Amino acid sequence: MVRRLDDKVQRLTARHGRAEEAMERSELENGRRHDDLVKRLGDLDEHVSKAREWVSRDVFTAYQQVEAMIDLRALVTPRAPMPALRHWALSPDALRLIVREAHTRRPGLIVECGSGASSVWLGYVVQSLGTGRIVSLEHDERFANATQDLVRAHDLQDVVEVRYAPLTAWQGENGPKEWYDTSVIGDLEGIGLLVVDGPPGTGGPAARYPAGPELLPRCAPDALILLDDAHRADERAVSDRWLKENEGLVRTEYTFDKHLHAFHRPHPA
């Protein structure tokens, strides 16, 4: 009987030991699950915070664009449906700055690298001022024709000229292999406002760089030079090179929808 009791005690002791081990393993697993849950909740909270920031930023950006668009529409009385902005075209906040500068400076010659919606908007501004003209360079023949149709639809052909300038070999140093055909810019002198929004980067890196060496020397001393899409690394590099290679040039950076860099030379004291 003693032996049987002793065996039973040993079995119960072993069973108790196994139960304790199981409880320890369960507690350890529960601890791991708890830690994992805490980490997931922390990650979720971080994602929610970031999402809230993104949504707030997007809402604020949308508000800025709507506000700028209201200002722009108050300045023109269109004779046909106006072309859309953003996407490939200038964003409303950037165009509002350009329109403001056109009103203030009243340039005799505005040159655009890249044509489209901005050609029409600026055309109305120049026509209302009663002075100046716009020359828009376009590398895509179909798009050039489409912009010309827009210009005629809005009866702006007296102030807006769209020049088809296909991409051809460019002979400059440390730049793209192609740029607008320079034979079409020979008569452009005294540019008061230069808007660089093309050609697209599909032609290679630094696609817009040649506008510096080719068109800056054709600008008036008090000209304003604008480079769109400065949120992209390629355009920022172009902007830095222009600043480095043109002594006395001053840059102002605008954090618009797609960012815009403005350049000018200060008036001598």
For the ranges 74-78, 160-164, 187-191, 206-210, which has the lowest average pLDDT? 74-78
Token reading at 224? 């304003």
Q: What angle do CA 117, 105, 86 make, to 5 degrees?
A: 20
More confident residue, 193 or 50: 193
Identify the band that residue 87 occupies on the pLDDT scale cut at 50, 70 and 90. low
Token reading at 80? 């046909």
CA dihedral 94, 98, 101, 106 (to 10 degrees): -170
Q: Can you tell me the mean pLDDT for 56-66?
A: 69
**Whether residue 162 has pLDDT greater than 70:** yes
Taking every pair of Cα atoms in the chain, the longest distance, rounded to a whole number of angstroms, is 121
Q: Can you tell me the mean pLDDT for 189-210?
A: 90
Identify the band that residue 54 occupies on the pLDDT scale cut at 50, 70 and 90. low
Integer Cα distance of 228 and 207 in angstroms: 13
Q: What is the mean pLDDT of the chain?
A: 87
Nearest Cα to Cα of residue 181 among 194, 167, 171, 195:
167
Nearest Cα to Cα of residue 92 among 116, 121, 114:
121
Q: What are the C-alpha distances in Å from 61 to residues 92, 95, 195, 256?
A: 11, 15, 22, 8
Q: For 155, which DSSP code?
A: T
Q: What are the C-alpha distances in Å from 173 to residues 53, 170, 176, 177, 209?
A: 43, 9, 8, 9, 10
The confidence score (pLDDT) of residue 256 equals 87
The confidence score (pLDDT) of residue 269 equals 52
pTM of the model: 0.77
Query: What is the CB-side half-sphere exposure of residue 39 using CA atoms within 13 A?
Result: 6
Q: Can you tell me the mean pLDDT for 159-177?
A: 91
Q: For 192, which DSSP code?
A: E
**Whether residue 57 has pLDDT greater than 90:** no
The confidence score (pLDDT) of residue 265 equals 92
**Whether residue 42 has pLDDT greater than 90:** no
Q: Can you tell me the mean pLDDT for 37-56?
A: 69
Asked whether the CA dihedral 21, 27, 29, 35 is positive or negative, the reply is negative
Residue-wise pLDDT for 209-254, tens only, equals 999 999 999 999 999 999 999 999 999 999 999 999 999 999 999 9
Integer Cα distance of 181 and 185 in angstroms: 8
**Whether residue 39 has pLDDT greater than 70:** yes
The confidence score (pLDDT) of residue 260 equals 95
Q: Which residues of 167-183 are buried (b: 16+ CB within 10 A; e: fewer)?
A: beebeeeebbebbbbee
Reduced to 3 states, what is the DSSP secondary structure of residue 22? helix
**Contact indicator for 98, 90 with CB cutoff of 8 Å:** yes
Q: For 132, which DSSP code?
A: -
The confidence score (pLDDT) of residue 63 equals 76
Percentage with pLDDT > 70 across the chain: 87
The phi and psi torsions of 192 (rounded to 5 degrees) equal -95, -25
Reduced to 3 states, what is the DSSP secondary structure of residue 196? strand
The confidence score (pLDDT) of residue 41 equals 73
More confident residue, 70 or 30: 70
Reduced to 3 states, what is the DSSP secondary structure of residue 74? helix
The confidence score (pLDDT) of residue 247 equals 92
Residues in the chain: 269
